[in-house]
Structure 1
Amino acid sequence: MLAERGVTMPVIVLTGHGDVGIAVRVMKAGAVDFLEKPFEKTALLASIGVAFSRLDNSDARSLREAEARVRVAVL
């Protein structure tokens, strides 16, 4: 799993040979989406939008955690 290796980037799986079992596994592992070829351009763009939202949320959460650590260190 990517998270176990320290990879925190959102993942979108694009495949030409997917099945329900694989789709369930990757989604449970935290993938943004599982798209099977041929896929709609709008579906890919929507998934990319969700991925960027996750990055923004992650960045905001990391900033809040860093600020909290600084406040604790100052006390």
Structure 2
Amino acid sequence: MKKFYDRKNELKILEQIEKNSYSNAAFTIITGRRRIGKTALLKKFISTKKAATFLPPEAPSPFYASNGKKNWSNQSTLKFLEA
């Protein structure tokens, strides 16, 4: 596994979102530039929790991504993780 660098502030925000979701439904979207660790942050956050994740596959090539083809529904995966 790759080294996970200090993201305590972001993890604390996710913990607060989770805590708030017990009384109010919540849907959280995490955005940002590519390759800054969004997926790693989420994997670290759910590593001790029961969770379901939905991650679309990587685009197979820059050509595929640059042509705006975003229909990955038949290739996506749904995984259930347990702590």
Asked if TM exceeds 0.5, the reply is: no
Larger Rg: 1
What is the TM-score when the length of structure 2 is the normalising length? 0.30
